[in-house]
Amino acid sequence: MKALPEGKSLGWMQAPASWIDSHTVRFIGVVRVVIQDGEGFILIKKGKPLFYYFRQGTIELKGHTALDYFNSHPVIEFNLCKYTPDELAWAMKLCNIEDHDRVLPKGPVVPGPVSTEHSPPARTAVPSVAQPARDTGIPVTIVIPTPVPTINKTPVVSGKVSWEYLPSSGPADSTVAKPARETRIPAEVSPPVPKVEKRAVVSGPVSTVHQPPASTTYPSVANTVGDTKVPVVAPLPVPGVEEKGVEPQPGVSDDPEVTILSQIRDLNGIVALAVFNDSRTVTMMGDADSEVLVTIARKMLETAKKMKPLRTWGPFVHMTIQIPAGNMIIAPYQDNYLCLLTTRVINIGHIRRILRDIQQRGAPLRE
């Protein structure tokens, strides 16, 4: 497998995935996306997304599945890399995308009568042809665009290419996403339902044959401390799945602090939160054993407090420990400490933003 062309990096950004759609009207190139341990890209030609791809471990997402995963994050980190026409052509070739704009001339090449037979609109007849991926022998479904009744100077190509989720048949890109190992994901495993945002990204008919990832590399989250079963249950962090393991708790008071905490708890990906100090747990919300949660949080705090030689750096702002099942965060909160347990849908950037929000809402963090 060959790598996608590097392109010319225009810089790294943190923004919602929707930002990419609305700010790449003239952009030709690849947007390299990094989310937690996974990487992917969006191949874009003048605002038209041609290919979405994401890989985390052995899981590969393509097409709308990958897009849904990008959209499931409030903010993603990405690098805009500009392509020359040749680089784009090469990238499209690697992704098995036909470049109709390059192939077809603007005017009719062969003079003669134009057939006026009715051709069914592309939306109604989209025969899919399984083509072997380059040198892998793994079928990749490409929806061949059918003729459109009207004659256009430029061919209609947007959204005609459909990329199913096909394990181990990723595009040749060793830079952003290395070729999949020979890992077949068993189809019979019941897949999680991905979060699908009602948001059109590609302006044409798109076939969305979808086989979501059926297995993950994440370990079970029910953990044990010693012999104690820890009910710190973060839902399996499957890409694209909106996870909310917290039931609203009755009797939320009008106390502004409780309101702020409730709002944090209700954020997507937050499993539980606790406010604690050295001697007791002040507040506990969410689906976790408060004792175990706070015990672990205190261990983290102990580490943070031991970082004495770094005091010249100022007070510690926050500490996050990221394990395959999720994140555990502690931060000074008023006279106490705040502890958050989250799923993997929240990344470091998101955590930092949440903590900044808390500060702006008048709950200053302190050490």
Partner 1 sequence: MLKEILNKFLILHDVRGVIVVKEDGGIVESIKSGMEYDDAFMAAVSTFMTGSKATADSFGNAPAFMVFMEFPDNFLLLAPLTEAFYLVVIAQNTANIGQINQEMKKNREDLVALL
Give the footprint of partner 1 on this chain (CB under 8 A).
Answer: 12, 14, 32, 34, 37, 39, 77-79, 219-220, 223-225, 230, 232, 295-296, 299-300, 302-304, 306-310, 313-325, 328, 348-349, 352
Q: Which is nearer to partner 1, 206 or 296 (CB)?
A: 296
Q: Which is nearer to partner 1, 80 or 133 (CB)?
A: 80
Minimum distance, C-beta of residue 249 to partner 1, in the bound complex (Å): 25
Helix (H) / strand (E) element for 139: namely: strand 139-143
Alpha-carbon distance 309 to 261, whole Å?
32
- Give strand ranges (E) for 161-317: 223-225, 228-230, 270-276, 281-286
Helix (H) / strand (E) element for 64: namely: helix 63-71
Alpha-carbon distance 19 to 61, whole Å?
20
Q: Which is nearer to partner 1, 252 or 310 (CB)?
A: 310
Minimum distance, C-beta of residue 225 to partner 1, in the bound complex (Å): 6
Minimum distance, C-beta of residue 54 to partner 1, in the bound complex (Å): 14
Helix (H) / strand (E) element for 38: namely: strand 38-45
Q: Which is nearer to partner 1, 216 or 320 (CB)?
A: 320
Q: Which is nearer to partner 1, 12 or 108 (CB)?
A: 12
Compute CA distances 266 → 97, 242, 304, whole Å: 41, 12, 27
Alpha-carbon distance 190 to 212, whole Å?
9
Alpha-carbon distance 243 to 267, whole Å?
10
Q: Which is nearer to partner 1, 77 or 242 (CB)?
A: 77
Minimum distance, C-beta of residue 166 to partner 1, in the bound complex (Å): 23
Q: Alpha carbon 197 to chain centroid distance? A: 13
Task: Look up tokens 């010693």; give the residue.
Answer: 226
Compute CA distances 119 → 149, 206, 323, whole Å: 6, 18, 54
User: 81 near 62, Cβ under 8 Å?
Assistant: no
Q: Which is nearer to partner 1, 220 or 279 (CB)?
A: 220
CB atoms within 10 A of CB 141: 17
Minimum distance, C-beta of residue 14 to partner 1, in the bound complex (Å): 7
Minimum distance, C-beta of residue 362 to partner 1, in the bound complex (Å): 19
Minimum distance, C-beta of residue 51 to partner 1, in the bound complex (Å): 19
